[in-house]
Amino acid sequence: MFVDTKLAEKLFSNNSEPMPDDELFGNQNKKPKKKRQGKSFKIDLHNIKLIVIAVLSVAVIVLVAILVFRMMGNKGEKYAKKASDFIGADFEIASKKMDFKIKQESGYKGLTSVVDYDYVAEAEKDVRIDGVNYPEWAILFKLDDNKHITDVRYCNFKGIKSDIKGVKKEHNVNLDKFNPGTEKETIDKELDMKYYSIDFTKDGEAYIYRYWYENDSGDEQPVVLTVNYDENGNFKSYTPQLIYHQFM
């Protein structure tokens, strides 16, 4: 049937290559198909993982730094609370069970001149307040005649460095509306300020604050506020002490 045997081979073969003689069969207008060339967006999961790991690493580092800072800042208070467990005990015996250094005299004359104590433990770093150097924190011990611990007081001098007058209030703080036995949490919400000192005794704890307000004359009136709690941590009483500038 086929005179041209070469053409017959091409028709019946599986060769997918285009035939040069396609035009003989009416395919002269057929154009070769072009492949669509679109932009392909590939997500590099490896790079995304690296970015996520880097972000999480930074977050962990920041969190650890904050926790370390808080732990360092509360070191003195933790030591004081541990020492308060030995109130009533012999000082010589108790001091050997405490994991911080205790001495008879502070290395800061400013502290010795304003606070009465028998023994003291204090921070290695200091802060300067109104031209006077104090330790960042101090723990003060008072003993009775039998050398037993009667009082342990924690002082955070770093906490009052920004302003010796303390927190600004609109008026004098009045806690008369609270009955004895009120929970400390309720009193804390009313005060809304940070204490700078805690006095531990066998009868309970006293938290001491500093704040100021403008009196009727328009003058700034600093106050030292002492709030007393019983051995169960419930409110007992409070004592505001007006401080005049010559005794700041």
* 139/212 same-domain check: no
| Residue 226, domain extent | 163-248
Residues 83 and 139 in one domain: yes
Task: Indicate the pLDDT class of residue 1, thresholds 50, 70 and 90.
Answer: very low
- The 8-class DSSP code of residue 103 comes to B
For residue 18, being part of any structural domain is answered with no
| Sequence-separated (6 or more) residues with CB below 8 Å from residue 73 | 158
Are residues 194 and 127 part of one domain? Answer: no
Q: Report how many domains make up the chain.
A: 2
Q: Which of 141, 159, 177 marks a domain boundary?
A: 159
Is the residue at 41 inside a domain? no
Residue 206 lies in a domain: yes
SS3 label, residue 54: helix
CA atoms of 245 and 52, how far apart (whole Å): 56
Write down the pTM of the prediction.
0.69
> Among 20-34, 68-82, 130-144, 209-223, which stretch is predicted with the lowest mean pLDDT?
20-34
What are the pLDDT digits (tens) for 90-140? 999 999 999 899 999 999 988 988 889 999 999 999 999 888 999 999 999
Q: What is the mean pLDDT of the chain?
A: 82
98 in the same domain as 149: yes
pLDDT digits (tens, 9 = 90+) for 3-62: 555 555 655 555 555 555 544 445 555 555 555 555 555 566 777 777 778 777 776 665
Residues 195 and 141 in one domain: no
pLDDT value for 70: 46
Residues 188 and 217 in one domain: yes
